[in-house]
């Protein structure tokens, strides 16, 4: 079995694939001080709930944008799964998507992995909108080149910044408001952040599509993306599992195994 780990700035996703399907998926808050032993205890308990064991896992692949967490995740694989993990961005891993940016080393691992996952679903040029801690816009050409995109603050990051910078504005829960005119402070914050973010997404998508000048499929992904389903007029489809799909594809391409 394969353990795929996607460690983002806010959350880390652990998913187990048995060769035919994803058996289990769990999320935990990203904590750079969490040790391999602590991960193992947490993972052991969750596996047991699904009638699985650490010993059932014999392969691991890791994608992380948090360098401080990689040491502990690598040790988790080595010590408890008894295998050397594949790490996106290290070694000579082959990716079906190549970076054609000014500085390929700067491109976040998650962005390339998403591109690989999207390519397994859709042919032709792609624009991927990943809504998480940051909202990223990634352009992939029809001949599998990642050529760049845009990065903006994510919706929840914007919400926290608004609360932190304005003394009288409370910390609120985000939800999709029905109207654009808020009738109280909380409504006004929700509509400003939510619909403002939707318009930012749709506006940047239109601008990128016009600049690219060729047809492209726009796919939404990321932990926040379900909120935008039905709100964005420019995102054609939503795929919540692009990252783990990409990790599985990369593992298959490099392991030479039918996993």
The residue whose two tokens read 């080595």 is 78
Q: pLDDT tens for residues 98-111?
A: 999 999 888 888 89
Q: Which of 37, 50, 110, 130 is catalytic?
A: 110
Tell me, what DSSP letter sits at residue 249? H
For domain 2-92, give its CATH number from 3.10.20.30, 3.30.479.10, 3.30.420.40, 3.30.2350.10. 3.30.420.40
Q: Which of 126-135, 150-159, 226-235, 250-259 has the lowest mean pLDDT?
A: 250-259
Cite the DSSP H helix spans in 129-184: 155-165
Phi, psi of 174 (to 5 degrees): -90, 135
Tokens coding 227: 């909120």
Here the tokens at position 128 are 């991927």
CATH of 122-238, one of 3.40.1390.10, 3.30.420.40, 3.40.50.300, 3.40.30.10: 3.30.420.40
> What is the rounded average pLDDT of the residues 48-56?
93
Q: How far apart are CA 168 and CA 186, in angstroms?
A: 11
For residues 169 and 162, the answer to whether their CB atoms sit within 8 Å is yes
In eight-state DSSP terms, residue 259 is -
pLDDT tens digits for 123-146? 999 999 999 889 999 999 999 999
The backbone torsions φ and ψ at residue 129, rounded to the nearest 5 degrees and listed phi first, read -110, 105
Q: d(Cα 205, Cα 228) in Å, to the nearest integer? A: 14
Q: What single DSSP character describes residue 67?
A: H
b/e 202-236 (16+ beta carbons within 10 angstroms → b): bebbeebbeeeeeebbbbbbbbbbebbeebbebbe
Structure-block tokens of residue 144: 């599998």
Domains 2-92 and 122-238 share a fold: yes
Q: What's the whole-model pTM score?
A: 0.88
205's tokens? 């998508």
**Who has greater pLDDT, 137 or 241?**
137
Residue 32's pLDDT is 93
Q: At what angle do helices 109-119 and 242-255 cross, to 10 degrees?
A: 80
pLDDT interval class at 252 (50, 70, 90): very high
CB 205 within 8 A of CB 129: yes
pLDDT in the model for residue 257: 54
Domain ranges of the chain: 2-92, 122-238
CA distance between the termini of the chain:
8
Look at residue 193 and give its three-state secondary structure.
Answer: helix
Q: 55: which 2 tokens? A: 């010993």
Q: What phi, psi does 137 have (nearest 5°)?
A: -120, 115
Query: Which of these, 202, 259, 215, lies nearest to 58 by C-alpha position?
Result: 259
Say whether 92 is catalytic: no
Indicate whether 94 pLDDT > 60. yes
pLDDT of residue 30: 93
């Amino acid at each position: 079995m394969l353990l795929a780990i996607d460690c983002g700035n806010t959350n880390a996703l652990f998913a187990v694939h048995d060769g035919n399907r994803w058996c289990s998926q769990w999320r935990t808050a990203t904590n750079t001080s969490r040790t391999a032993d602590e991960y193992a205890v947490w993972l052991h308990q969750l596996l047991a709930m699904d009638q699985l064991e650490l010993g059932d896992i014999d392969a691991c692949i890791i994608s992380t944008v948090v360098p401080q967490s990689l040491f502990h995740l690598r040790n988790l694989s080595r010590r408890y799964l008894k295998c050397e993990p594949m790490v996106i961005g290290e070694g000579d891993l082959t990716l079906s998507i190549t970076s054609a940016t000014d500085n390929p080393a700067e491109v976040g691992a998650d962005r390339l992995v998403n591109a690989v996952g999207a390519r397994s679903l859709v042919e032709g040029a792609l624009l991927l909108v990943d809504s998480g801690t940051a909202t990223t816009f990634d352009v992939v050409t029809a001949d599998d080149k990642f050529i760049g995109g845009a990065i903006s603050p994510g919706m929840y990051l914007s919400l926290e910044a608004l609360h932190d910078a304005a003394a009288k504005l409370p910390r609120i829960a985000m939800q999709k408001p029905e109207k654009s005119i808020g009738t109280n402070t909380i409504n006004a914050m929700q509509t400003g952040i939510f619909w403002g973010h939707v318009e930012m997404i749709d506006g940047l998508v239109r601008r990128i599509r016009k600049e690219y000048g060729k047809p492209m499929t726009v796919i939404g992904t990321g932990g926040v993306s379900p909120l935008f389903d039905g709100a964005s007029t420019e995102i054609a489809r939503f795929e919540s599992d692009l990252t783990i799909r990409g990790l599985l594809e990369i593992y298959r391409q490099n392991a030479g195994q039918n996993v």
